[in-house]
Every structure is written in C-alpha cells, then in structure tokens.
Structure 1
C-alpha cells in the first residue's frame, strides 16, 4: 500500500471476526485493531489472525482499547445486543441505543476525522443513532445499507437467468429489512434492460419470477439463521467492499445507508440508496429513475423507519 491505513473494529462476534478475517485475506489495511467487551474472545481472534500472516498480506493486527481509535481511517461498529426471548423490538433498540451511546462517546473522545461504518442491525436505525450521537458530518457516518441485499438479489436473478452474478446490474434500495425495494426498472444484464424484454425472450422475468426473487431476497437472512444461527460471510464481504472503496478512493457506486435530504421526496432518515463512495465516505447520492410504484414503495420504507425513529426519540 502506498500509505498507512488503519481500520478499527468494535465488536468481534460472528460478523466482526469474519470481517477481520476478510480484511486480512484482502490485505485492505496496514493496521487492524480489534476492540470488544470480551477481551479474551478478541485476543483469541487477534492470535488466530496473526498466525496466518505468513500466508497473507503484511499487517499489524492487535487487541486494543478505544484510545486506539486515534488515527483510524475507518471505525467499523459490529457490536450490539441480541434479541432476548419475548423482547419487543423497541426494548431491543433501547438496549442497543444505550450500547451505542457508550461506544460513540468513547470513539469520538479519540477521533474526529474517521469514517464510521455501521454493521449492527437494524442498520439504518443505528446509522441514524450513530449520526446523531457523534455529531459528525452525514457523509462520514455510513451503514452497510442494502449492499448485502443487492448481492443476494443479483445472485437470485443470475440463478434464474443462468449467468454470472457479476454480469447482473441491479439494486435493492430502502431499508435493510422487510420494506426493502427491488429496483426492477433499473435491472440490466450486459446492458440489456430486463424489465423491457418481451415475454418470448429467454431472459424475460414474469411477475411470478419477480415475486419469487423478491421474496427470496427478503427472506434470505431468516432462512440462513434458521439453518445455522447467524449470517456473517456475505455481510463481512459487503463491509470489506465498502472499506476498499473508501481506502482506495474508488468512487464506487454502492447502495449504502446514509442520511437523506430530499431524495425522491424523502428527508430525515438513513436509507440504502446508490451512493458514490470514496475517501470522504458518501461523496454523493445518486437518484435512480424509479417508476411510480417503486418510488411509492421507497417512501413507504422511509415512513416506516421514520415512525420507529420517532418512537425511540431519534427522528
């Protein structure tokens, strides 16, 4: 790497530790610091990762405290409380807000120039919580948004069409959750707009196929959790992709979550929309030419989140 780059990870659970491993494999930074309330677990990860250095890229990997946030380029937050049996969503959110309050206070005491990348769910809500608590500019507080959803979406479309997912170009926008919106009107393969193909075309997707793909995308996490308890591989890759775009100033267009102002008539909430991501975080949000129905669905997603933010006092 041409310059020193430093990532601090807060939270070394399944998502955090897998992200750390992905950073090592991809050689994304010169320095990686792991912070967790469970220091034994974090230290175990540090040792395990360091034992692979001979087989990967040179990198300084250490167990740290919040003082090590100083000088970090990106601070990834993957910490948070899991839902307890019988616990309401509001109760869970209030516990996570309390956790974030402590984390953000500790982070901002040692760093005021990094980019905050939020991975903890519900990611759009907690991105807004982090933005309000930190007081940092909106371009430097980012959630993983719908990048993972978009990857799932493209995989399912590719499976249906029999092509490589990398040749599919399309996005899920809105909430990372039940109100997410597939932007069918913007879906293309090799420059071909799939939504405009006649029924006899082998790449044509009828309403039934679209509904199946949409439902498969929305239910993906539930399906994986039912099978193995948690999702972590694909979200770790998503976080690493965002970090890569930032550290290498790639100006990649990724559907990350950030605070919107007059986007498709939406203001005052963090949602996943296509954004130019570079060294300054979200450099610019990109407006998709949505259909009327897609626009209405996106505004419904925003309203749903706004109502919840109002309930927890972060609207």
Structure 2
C-alpha cells in the first residue's frame, strides 16, 4: 500500500513540531520545506533518526525545492512571520499575505489535488489568500484555529474542576483572535453544563483566558509564540482527513450562507474526511451567541477588506 504524503511548509517551531508529530503517526511520509537553506534538511534528518527509537518508518525529507513536495495529499502551511509581543495579528497581514500567496502558488503547481490546511496568522485572512490563489473549491481549504482555541478552553475548564481533559467537551467558534466565541452553553463535563459546576464569574474568567490564550504564551516566551498545541491541532486535522475519520472539529471554513454569513472564513464545526470539508455543521445558537459570531465575522471581514484593498 502506498503511503500518504504530507508537506509541511515552514520549518519553524510549528512546522518542525508538526512534521515530528506526523512522522510519529507512522502512516504518512513527510516533506518539510522552507526557504532557509539547511533548516528543513537538518530538522528532517533529526526527526528521521528518532524513528528507530520511537518505532516509525515514515520517510521525512527536508528541502528548499517545492518539486520534492509533488503529489502531496495534504499541505500544512505554517510559514509566515510570527507575531511578536505587542504586535496585533493585523500587523502581520501584509507580510504574511505575500508569503502565503507565493507558498500557495508553489504548492498547487506540484500538488493540484491537495487539501490545504492553513495555520499561518492572521489565520482567517490567510485562508482567504490560499483560497483565492489556489482556485480550489472551498472543501479543500481549511484553517486551523478552533481546535487550538477549544483545547485551551478545555484545559482551563479541566484545571478549574480537577477533572480529566477527556471528560470536557467544548466548542469555540468565530475568528482566531480577540473576537473568538467560546460557547459556555456547549461546554460540558460528562454531559453537565459548566454553568452548573462553577460560578458565573469563573466561567467568564475562563472564557477571557481562552481568548487571550495565544497572547499569554507569547508574553511568557518573550520571543516567538505557541507551537506544541498548534502543531497537535494541525495533526488532529490531518489525521481526520487522511484516515477519513469524519471527525466533527471546529475549523475555519469558507461560509456561503451557513450561520447567515457569506463569503468569509469563520470558525465553525465541520466534518473532516478524505475529501476535506465534507459538511459544515450548523448548531443552534442563542441570539446572544449569534450576535457574538456576527461580531467575530465582521472582524474577519475588516481584514479581508484590507487584503483586497
């Protein structure tokens, strides 16, 4: 049986860790590509040499040449300038628009049937760049944000209540930024709403900490940003696509009328399978939640207007 092939663009912390986690899965070969000479080659060789210890036979190649990425099933785009302390996601816009645009062009030339998983920030806007430049149908361009934000939300809930994260089910919708929408009504521990398990002020504090999750880590690190959880979230998406798991996961998807939103990438629950986004799952939201999602969508629209300006 021929193995799957995943290309990870960008050999920084997120890309390198994503390549490592994928290699450890042992069901796909991995190509790590970056413009910096030696960086992807060195990281790939290091990951490859972990195989005998961890027990995987995944091929891992590092390269500066997109020809090596040919016929990839999935391409994870992590490249871009990282957010520096005090820098808004919007500041990154123009720089990363150019990077993600040129990366998309190079990728689709060699892998015209790939599914694109976008991780570069500002996330929702970079999904637009990838969709426009690739000309792909919306099913094959999906952004990683909601899984990461939801993981942070679930972590804080589990810590607060002293339970396993596995018992916590939750959902964060909307744009990946300050307007994201963690839904307390859909956050449960073993099926019980968190509002019944902790006071309202603790729920609100956890929602706010979730919104600030990336900034909190960036502030602690001083240079750079989170990469362990973002890479784990990216790999969960690749698993669901290539193993055709049909997981329902919160991802940035191009909405065309769903949730009353048109022509925008917004984080919503989607069914991910072998063909990419197989279904956009519409859940019932309260009027207040709908309003928050609309506000979040408006923030994404502002970025897209700047892109198209």
Give the TM-score, by structure 2 length: 0.94
Deviation at 1:5, TM superposition (A): 0.4
3-state SS in 2 of match to 1:12: coil
Q: Is residue 222 of structure 1 aligned with residue 220 of structure 2?
A: no
Match of 1:258 among 243, 253, 256: 253
CA contact under 8 A between 1:11 and 1:34: conserved in structure 2? yes
Query: 2:241 maps to what in 1?
Result: 246
Query: 1:299 maps to what in 2?
Result: 294
Distance 1:292 1:217 in 2: 22
Query: 1:92 maps to what in 2?
Result: 92
CA contact under 8 A between 2:7 and 2:69: conserved in structure 1? yes
3-state SS in 1 of match to 2:201: helix
Match of 2:307 among 284, 288, 312: 312
Distance 2:213 2:92 in 1: 22
Deviation at 1:83, TM superposition (A): 5.0
CA contact under 8 A between 1:257 and 1:273: conserved in structure 2? yes
CA contact under 8 A between 1:108 and 1:134: conserved in structure 2? yes
Q: Is residue 41 of structure 1 aligned with residue 39 of structure 2?
A: yes
Query: 2:172 maps to what in 1?
Result: 172
Distance 1:192 1:219 in 2: 25
Query: 2:73 maps to what in 1?
Result: 73
Distance 1:213 1:52 in 2: 38
Distance 2:8 2:89 in 1: 25
Q: Is residue 210 of structure 1 aligned with residue 203 of structure 2?
A: yes
3-state SS in 1 of match to 2:19: helix
Distance 1:130 1:191 in 2: 38
> How many residues get paired?
305
Once the two structures are superposed, residues 197-246 of structure 1 have per-residue CA deviations (whole angstroms, 9 ceiling, x without a partner) of 3xxxxx2x332011110111111211211222321001110011101001
Match of 1:51 among 49, 52, 55: 49
Q: Cα RMSD between the aligned structures?
A: 1.8
Distance 2:31 2:83 in 1: 27
Compare 63-72 and 107-116 and name the one that shifted more: 63-72
Query: 1:182 maps to what in 2?
Result: 182
Unaligned runs of 5+ in 1: 198-202
Alignment CA distance shift 1:87-1:206 (3 Å): closer
Distance 1:217 1:94 in 2: 26
Distance 2:91 2:251 in 1: 26
Deviation at 1:76, TM superposition (A): 0.7
Q: Is residue 270 of structure 1 aligned with residue 262 of structure 2?
A: no
CA contact under 8 A between 2:248 and 2:272: conserved in structure 1? yes
Deviation at 1:188, TM superposition (A): 2.0
Distance 2:303 2:122 in 1: 11
Once the two structures are superposed, residues 238-293 of structure 1 have per-residue CA deviations (whole angstroms, 9 ceiling, x without a partner) of 01110100110000000011101112211111011111011011110111211111
CA contact under 8 A between 2:89 and 2:122: conserved in structure 1? no
Unaligned runs of 5+ in 2: none
CA contact under 8 A between 1:255 and 1:274: conserved in structure 2? yes
Distance 2:204 2:191 in 1: 23
Give the TM-score, by structure 1 length: 0.92
Deviation at 1:27, TM superposition (A): 2.2
CA contact under 8 A between 2:96 and 2:121: conserved in structure 1? no
Q: Is residue 150 of structure 1 aligned with residue 142 of structure 2?
A: no
Once the two structures are superposed, residues 74-101 of structure 1 have per-residue CA deviations (whole angstroms, 9 ceiling, x without a partner) of 0111101235799786563112111122
